[in-house]
């Protein structure tokens, strides 16, 4: 019984975790090639909110590159930072400022810096650029895409000059001239690798440089050099369960608020936040549905447990009466029964934990009735929620074991013998006419089904809605229980003939 109850939240969590993965993939927010990881993309877009200086960006960079990832509470697989400047005009080396201003450039380019970029690029020619020196006259080593190299006929070691005109605070203009040298020509090793937070062709018109060059040489020469900065997280979400989602969403909100405080307009553009909320609500809904459909089975199991306990206590009533006559108190009798129930509960829970996982896997492998051949990749993982349901079931079964012993502890040996000498009393539910009372709502439900095909609450939203009227699911179990109790009342009468 405990394994059956624990398997329901296990199965619902596994089903909707797969739905969560599919929703993230459809929305384009999944990690490429790793469906059990979550992607987070933080951005500050200078073209919309104004370009920034590196000193303005540093506080939020230090936060999102370290403490924020730890605050999330999930294992971090990768943190990739990317920053780029505004556009420059690209000219052959030796072009003067006057010449550059009068001619069309070879290309409009920007400087970009991606962490861990060299390890994920195939070098068609040359290799990764080295960090630039502080000397403004030394060319900055850059890497260009194979697409740009073929379009412009760029060769390794070729030098160019980049120009950009800025408006100064006084209203004048200032032109920056940066010499560059091509150190390598690259193309992606694997376009579908999880490293690429943007498609690789988005970097075709960028001069890629080491992060040290961007933070040092570029930041020292330019004003408002950061036109775009992003932080891309790849987070291991394989251990996320429905019971964890509320806390996880709260931590995401805290990080989002802190990042926006450190650098206004820093946004979380890609994340599983909305999908996690739907996942949590859907898993709870499926839990309710599965428990509703399992009411007859669970009730049967609990009734069986009560029957077995009643028979066991019935055999022990004489021993309990003897103990009471020899000075044992009712509390001591209840304590003995509770200790026995606790030992059985511990053993049952220890067996139920692995057994419930197996039952949930069987649910996922069910193709049809008694056909468990469906190949399933459900992630069935024990979490706090199934254990809580298991503990509740353990508590109910312990009560079912202890309460009859408390009732038996009221008798001493004398009162017990006197009780045996009397006519056997009817069960409490017969004395309370519970079977007849249960026939009233059962009959009403059957009447509504026959008249209009469904059960509804007057003033409810729609007929047949499970959550507007739970009787839609409870009616079969209610009818079965009422008829069973009625037959138990009538059976002795038939047996007397």
CA distances to 84, 117, 224, 251, 340 from 265, rounded to whole Å, are 17, 26, 16, 19, 62
Q: Average pLDDT, stretch 173-196? A: 90
* CA atoms of 387 and 348, how far apart (whole Å): 12
The first and second tokens of residue 258, run together, are 């802190």
If pLDDT is split at 50, 70 and 90, which confidence band does 59 have? Answer: very high
Q: Any idea which residue has 């949590």 for tokens?
A: 280
User: Of the segments 141-150, 281-290, 368-377, 389-398, which one has the largest average pLDDT value?
Assistant: 141-150
For residue 450, pLDDT over 90 is answered with no
- pLDDT tens figures, 341-384: 889 888 988 888 888 888 777 776 665 555 555 566 666 777 77
Mean pLDDT lowest among 215-229, 342-356, 406-420: 406-420
Give the integer Cα–Cα distance in Å for 178 and 85.
13
Rounded Cα–Cα distance for residues 155 and 305 (Å):
82
Integer Cα distance of 394 and 227 in angstroms: 60
233: which strand partners? 40, 79
- Among the listed ranges 141-150, 158-167, 402-411, 420-429, which one has the minimum average pLDDT value? 420-429
Provide the pLDDT confidence category of residue 254 given band limits of 50, 70 and 90.
very high
Q: Identify the structural domains of the chain with CATH numbers, from first to last.
A: 1-25+286-422 (no CATH), 30-82+224-271 (3.30.70), 87-220 (no CATH), 426-497 (no CATH)
420 vs 408, which has greater pLDDT?
A: 408
Which of 347, 324, 350, 353 shows the shortest CA–CA distance to 417?
A: 324
Q: Residues 195, 114: contact at Cβ < 8 Å?
A: no
User: Stretch 261-267: mean pLDDT, rounded?
Assistant: 92
Considering only residues 170 and 4, tell me which one the structure prediction assigns the higher pLDDT.
4
Q: Which one, of 228, 206, 209, 207, lies nearest residue 217 by Cα?
A: 209
CA–CA dist 10, 357 (Å, integer) = 7
Q: What is the mean pLDDT of the chain?
A: 80
Look at residue 469 and tell me whether its pLDDT is greater than 60.
no
Read off the pLDDT of each residue in 210-234 and give the average, rounded to a whole number.
90
Q: Name the pTM for this structure.
A: 0.67
In contact, 239 and 73? CB cutoff 8 Å: no
Which residues are CB-contacts of 35 (< 8 A; sequence separation ≥ 6)?
21, 24, 25
Closest listed residue to residue 469, CA positions, set 440, 441, 431: 441
What string of H, E and C letters represents the secondary structure of the chain? CHHHHHHHHHHHHHHHHHHHHHHHHHCCCEECCEEEEEEEEEEEEHHHHCCECHHHHHHHHHHHCCHHHHHHCCCEEEEEEEEECCCEEEEECCCCHHHHHHCCCCEEEEEEEECCCHHHEEEEEECCCCCCCCCCCCCEEEEEEHHHHHHHCCCCCCEEEEEEEEECCCCCEEEEEEEEEEEEEEEECCCCCCCCCCCHHHHCCEEECCHHHHHHHHHHHCCCCECEEEEEEEEECCCCCHHHHHHHHHHHHHHHHHHHHHCCCCEEEECCHHHHHHHHHHHHHHHHHHHHHCHHHHHHHHHHHHHHHHHHHHHHHHHHHHHHHCCCCHHHHHHHHHHHHHHHHHHHHHHHHHHHHHHHHHHHCCCECCECCCCCCCCCCCCHHHHHHHHHHHHHHHHHHHHHHHHHCCCCHHHHHHHHHCCCCCCHHHHCCHHHHHHHHHHHHHHHHHHHCCCCCCCCCCCCCCCCCCHHHHHHHHHHHHHHHHHHHHHHHHHCC
Question: Phi and psi of 188, rounded to 5°?
Answer: -65, 140
- pLDDT category at 30 given cuts 50, 70, 90 is low
**Which stretch of 3-7, 43-47, 82-86, 415-419 has the lowest confidence by average pLDDT?**
415-419
- Nearest-angstrom CA–CA distance, 313 and 22: 53
Q: Are 342 and 349 in contact (CB under 8 A)?
A: no
pLDDT of residue 297: 67
What is the percent of the chain with per-residue pLDDT over 70, rounded to a whole number?
Answer: 77
């Amino acid at each position: 019984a405990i394994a059956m109850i624990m398997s329901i939240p296990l199965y619902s969590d596994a089903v909707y975790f797969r739905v969560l993965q599919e929703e993230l993939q459809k929305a384009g927010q999944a990690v490429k090639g790793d469906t059990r990881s979550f992607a987070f993309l933080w951005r500050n877009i200078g073209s919309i909110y104004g370009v920034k200086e590196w000193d303005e960006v540093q506080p939020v960079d230090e936060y999102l590159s370290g403490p924020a990832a730890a605050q999330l509470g999930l294992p971090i697989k990768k943190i990739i930072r990317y920053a780029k400047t505004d556009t420059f005009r690209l000219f052959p080396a030796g072009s003067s400022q006057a010449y550059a201003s009068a001619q069309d450039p070879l290309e409009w380019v920007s400087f970009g810096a991606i962490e861990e970029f060299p390890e994920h690029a195939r070098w068609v020619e040359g290799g990764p650029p080295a960090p630039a020196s502080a000397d403004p006259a030394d060319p900055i080593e850059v890497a260009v895409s194979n697409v740009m190299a073929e379009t412009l006929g760029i060769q390794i070691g070729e030098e160019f000059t980049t120009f950009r005109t800025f408006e100064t605070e006084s209203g004048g203009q200032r032109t920056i001239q940066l010499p560059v040298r091509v150190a390598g020509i690259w193309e992606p090793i694997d376009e579908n690798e999880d490293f690429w937070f943007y498609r690789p062709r988005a970097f075709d018109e960028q001069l890629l440089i080491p992060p040290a060059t961007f933070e040092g040489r570029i930041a020292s020469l330019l004003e408002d050099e950061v036109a775009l900065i992003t932080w891309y997280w790849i987070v291991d979400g394989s251990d996320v369960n429905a019971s964890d989602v509320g806390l996880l969403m709260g931590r995401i909100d805290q990080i989002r608020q802190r990042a926006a405080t450190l650098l206004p307009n820093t946004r979380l553009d890609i994340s599983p936040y909305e999908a996690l909320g739907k996942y949590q609500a859907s898993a709870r809904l499926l839990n309710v549905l599965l428990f509703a459909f399992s009411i007859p089975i669970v009730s049967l199991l609990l009734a069986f447990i009560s029957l077995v306990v009643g028979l066991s206590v019935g055999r022990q009533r004489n021993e309990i009466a003897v103990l009471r006559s020899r000075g044992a108190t009712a509390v001591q009798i209840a304590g003995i029964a509770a200790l026995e129930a606790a030992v059985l509960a511990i053993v049952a829970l220890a067996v139920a934990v692995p057994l419930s996982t197996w039952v949930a896997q069987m649910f996922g492998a069910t193709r049809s009735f008694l056909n468990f051949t469906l190949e399933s990749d459900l992630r069935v993982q024990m979490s706090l929620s199934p254990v809580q349901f298991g503990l509740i079931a353990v508590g109910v079964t312990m009560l079912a074991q202890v309460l009859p012993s408390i009732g038996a502890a009221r008798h001493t040996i004398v009162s017990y013998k006197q009780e045996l000498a009397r006519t056997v009393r009817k069960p409490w539910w017969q004395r309370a006419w519970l079977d007849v009372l249960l026939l009233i709502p059962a009959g009403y439900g059957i009447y509504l089904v026959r008249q209009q095909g469904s059960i509804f609450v007057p003033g409810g939203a729609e007929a047949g809605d499970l959550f507007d009227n739970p009787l839609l699911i409870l009616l079969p179990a209610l009818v079965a229980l009422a008829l069973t109790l009625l037959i138990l009342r009538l059976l002795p009468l038939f047996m007397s003939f």
